[in-house]
Amino acid sequence: MITKDLLDSVASRAAVLARRYYFLEKEDLMQEGYIFLMELDKKPLSDKQKHKAINYMFTDLERHALRQQKIEKNMSSFPVEPDMPADSDTPEEVVEREQITNQLMATLSRQELLVLEGMIEGKAMDDIAAFLGIKRDTVRRIATKIIKKRKEIEND
């Protein structure tokens, strides 16, 4: 049974997260929490276990919000859009960079392409690993391999 104490717990955690992260809406967080509560209510859990589950859920939401905030901060450090040439780039430099990128893409395996795509989208290595069903260390090894290949192509 969903108690008032559980509902208050969801509401207070949602309010804290919404104040901490400007891009999170309190109402959306509360809705997610209430839906999660309804799912928990179907399981034979004590109120203490439900409180723990709510805390874990909001901890995960906060971890995701921190990643999102970090991505936004990193993206805002670019002087121009990442896929646009800088004003100081000559047309030859832009063409050369595109050729290097095309050569790199032609040498990558399917798994390497998926890892690169995840990195470009700003996903964390844990998220890429979970999506591909591989270990985080494998993602790191593949990313290092991609960087090495890129440097080899640039030096040729």
Binned at pLDDT 50, 70 and 90, residue 85 comes out as low
Do 99 and 140 fall within a single domain?
Answer: yes
**pLDDT of res. 63:** 86
Do 65 and 104 fall within a single domain?
Answer: no
pLDDT digits 0-9 by tens, 112-138? 988 988 888 888 888 888 888 899 899
Do 69 and 108 fall within a single domain?
Answer: no
Instruction: Give me the mean pLDDT over the 1-15 stretch.
Output: 85
> Which of the listed residues 76, 103, 122 is the one where a domain comes to its end?
76
Do 101 and 51 fall within a single domain?
Answer: no
pLDDT digits 0-9 by tens, 42-76? 888 888 888 888 888 888 888 888 887 777 666 55
Residue 106 included in any domain: yes
**pLDDT of res. 86:** 58
Do 72 and 95 fall within a single domain?
Answer: no
Do 8 and 35 fall within a single domain?
Answer: yes
Do 95 and 57 fall within a single domain?
Answer: no
Residue 151 included in any domain: yes
User: 130: which 2 tokens?
Assistant: 């979970």
Residue 81 included in any domain: no
**pLDDT of res. 80:** 47
Binned at pLDDT 50, 70 and 90, residue 141 comes out as very high
Do 33 and 69 fall within a single domain?
Answer: yes
Number of domain units in the chain: 2
* Whole-number average pLDDT of the chain: 83
The CATH number of the domain holding residue 111 is 1.10.10.10
Owning domain of residue 29: 4-76
Residue 59 included in any domain: yes
Do 63 and 95 fall within a single domain?
Answer: no
**pLDDT of res. 83:** 53
**pLDDT of res. 92:** 82
**pLDDT of res. 76:** 54
User: 40: which 2 tokens?
Assistant: 């928990």
